[in-house]
Structure 1
């Protein structure tokens, strides 16, 4: 299973080792979810100011958050589906606030890598259509997240 990830680190603070771990996590998530080979996702690391701008513009919430996902496969009723035989599946964008991830890792008492991995997998599952609006949906989504993180040794 090959997942193509376009990494963009606006903070210049995510190491190559951390990027490799995130690639492993997202590749495992893609495999478990039967995502097509060569599917693409963008993963962008930003500061709190930038994620607050994005949160305000797209979600009308004027505060920094930890992760935002933009699924490219979500359609409005008046959109037309374009299907190409040799086009890769483009899942969307995951935007993570690095300072928020560091803050939450400290708050929850686990490693920065565990929090970064959690946010990446969380955002990825949102791209695949998972949500946590109801208790039942949250149980499913958070269960999948924990399974993936635990399998690669990123425990709480």
Structure 2
């Protein structure tokens, strides 16, 4: 398994639909839309430089993607929105009329059985990971975590959903959380669940449990 986040075959499209994201992530490209290829390195001049979102997504793919997804280019979208935007999506697609921290919309049903020829006609689309600025910032403050660490965790969590992981059962949740902890450790980020479990009344735990 390839553990180097900078050597994956992953291409990312980053769409900033809430301009205030630039205040909390100043390394984001000034453009609303930026395409990056972690396989070519993360120093892009005037574009996103060493961006936390890119590194987290690349690490998640490198640490959890099955071999069938490594045969050619793979693409995913990372969309940065506000609470109002994600609340609409959460209500429309999940029936919960409230904001959440991260939503994932997978384009594939079963990556493990993906044929090797699936990449022949161009990049394979994994899906979309959507983050809500206000909820993400609030949770980081409530849980006494750095904002970059919390964003990294949510990106990893969202990408793992695109790769087929879920937390519908206790066994699945344990597997997914274990993989998240392992990937984040590779990025120098401590176990994000430890403090949340020590304080079970915090809203961040409830929101994470409800993310898709």
* CA shift digits 1:116-144 (9 cap, x unpaired): 11111101000011000111111110111
Count residues with an aligned counterpart.
150
TM-score (norm 2): 0.65
In the alignment, does 2:15 pair up with 1:8? yes
Distance 2:17 2:122 in 1: 28
Which runs of no fewer than 5 residues in structure 1 stay unpaired? Answer: 76-81
2:51 alignment partner, SS class: helix
2:182 pairs with one of 122, 138, 147:
147
1:65 pairs with one of 77, 93, 100:
100
1:25 pairs with one of 40, 56, 59:
56
> How far apart are residue 83 of structure 1 and its match?
4.2
Which runs of no fewer than 5 residues in structure 2 stay unpaired? Answer: 1-7, 29-47, 111-116, 193-212
TM-score (norm 1): 0.87
> How far apart are residue 59 of structure 1 and its match?
1.0
1:52 alignment partner, SS class: helix
> How far apart are residue 11 of structure 1 and its match?
1.9
1:130 pairs with one of 142, 145, 165:
165
Distance 1:71 1:55 in 2: 15
* CA shift digits 1:93-117 (9 cap, x unpaired): 0011011111111111111111111
Distance 2:130 2:52 in 1: 17
Structure possessing the higher radius of gyration over alpha carbons: 2
Higher relative CO (CA 8 A, sep ≥ 6), structure 1 or 2?
1
1:109 alignment partner, SS class: coil
1:48 pairs with one of 83, 94, 106:
83
Distance 1:6 1:84 in 2: 18
> How far apart are residue 149 of structure 1 and its match?
1.1
CA RMSD of superposed structures (Å): 2.0
